[in-house]
């Protein structure tokens, strides 16, 4: 594993790159969720199992998360897409990389789905784990994971746990064309979610499966949002089986 840093509009994004054997390989860009970082147990296991299947990966911290630059309250889904675009640019100019895959958990799943919709010609396959398209409806209602606010008069920032959630994050979330952009990607997609997800209703995973032209849906009975316990291996294994080379 090697540490990488990538510049995006004056911010330094920090990531980890895993490489399998061989001169040429496929590469997965792995994206974490809201308030998380690149080193969640799920994402580390996905990176490890992909490497064993001869698929390289880059997993990185979005702006305002983990080791990457930026304030959490300045983070939006839109600028996370900008982060992911910078990683995509890094990967696509690498002469060792053959096909590019996107893997996203939770809000990272929304970013992955929208990036694939914006670059359907560059992305080969997509895996969405508990994709958090609910963030749009939450912002419209005025309740984001327990942080409440007036959705018609969103303040500059909303207290959120020990952080501040930016008002612009919420304003843009209300109007994100998540499914409209995502469905522009017509390549293979695997959508994976737990039936006991208390953070993102599994109906949002089902909706992704409905709007995609070429998708498969895996609902893990009893699985939670973070894929804890036995669900971590199940989610990682489904991801690797979907992305591993066929030869």
What pLDDT score does 247 carry?
Answer: 65
What pLDDT score does 202 carry?
Answer: 98
CB 203 within 8 A of CB 87: no
CA distance 170 to 175: 9
CA distance 218 to 209: 10
What pLDDT score does 232 carry?
Answer: 98
CA distance 191 to 217: 5
What pLDDT score does 246 carry?
Answer: 79
What pLDDT score does 224 carry?
Answer: 98
Helices (H) and strands (E) in the chain, counts: 8, 12
pLDDT 10s digits, 95-127:
999 999 999 999 999 999 999 999 999 999 999
Q: Residue 151 burial by CB count (10 A; 0-12/13-18/19+): exposed, middle or buried?
A: middle
What pLDDT score does 118 carry?
Answer: 98
Residues in contact with 95: Cβ distance below 8 Å, sequence separation at least 6, in sequence order:
none
- Residues in the chain with pLDDT values less than 50: none
Could you tell me if residue 70 is left (phi over 0), alpha (psi between -120 and 50 degrees) or otherwise beta?
Answer: left
CB 228 within 8 A of CB 160: no
């Amino acid at each position: 594993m090697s540490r990488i840093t990538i510049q995006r509009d004056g911010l330094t994004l920090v990531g980890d790159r895993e490489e399998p054997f061989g001169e040429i390989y496929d590469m997965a860009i792995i994206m974490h969720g809201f308030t998380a970082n690149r080193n969640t147990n799920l994402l580390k296991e996905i990176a490890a199992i992909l490497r064993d299947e001869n698929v390289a990966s880059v997993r990185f911290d979005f702006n305002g998360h983990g080791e990457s630059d930026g304030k959490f309250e300045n983070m939006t889904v839109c600028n996370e897409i900008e982060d992911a675009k910078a990683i995509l640019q890094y990967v696509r100019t690498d002469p060792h990389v053959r096909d590019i895959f996107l893997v996203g958990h939770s809000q990272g799943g929304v970013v992955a789905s929208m990036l694939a919709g914006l670059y359907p010609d560059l992305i080969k396959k997509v895996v969405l784990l508990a994709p958090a398209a609910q963030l749009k409806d939450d912002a419209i209602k005025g309740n984001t994971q327990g942080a409440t606010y007036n959705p018609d008069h969103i303040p500059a920032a909303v207290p959120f746990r020990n952080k501040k959630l930016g008002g612009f994050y919420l304003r843009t979330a209300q109007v994100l064309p998540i499914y409209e952009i995502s469905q522009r990607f017509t390549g293979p997609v695997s959508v994976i979610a737990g039936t006991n997800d208390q953070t993102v209703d599994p109906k949002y995973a089902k909706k992704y499966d409905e709007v995609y032209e070429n998708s498969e849906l895996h609902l893990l009975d009893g699985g939670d949002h973070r894929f804890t316990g036995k669900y971590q291996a199940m989610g990682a294994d489904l991801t690797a089986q979907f992305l591993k080379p066929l030869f």
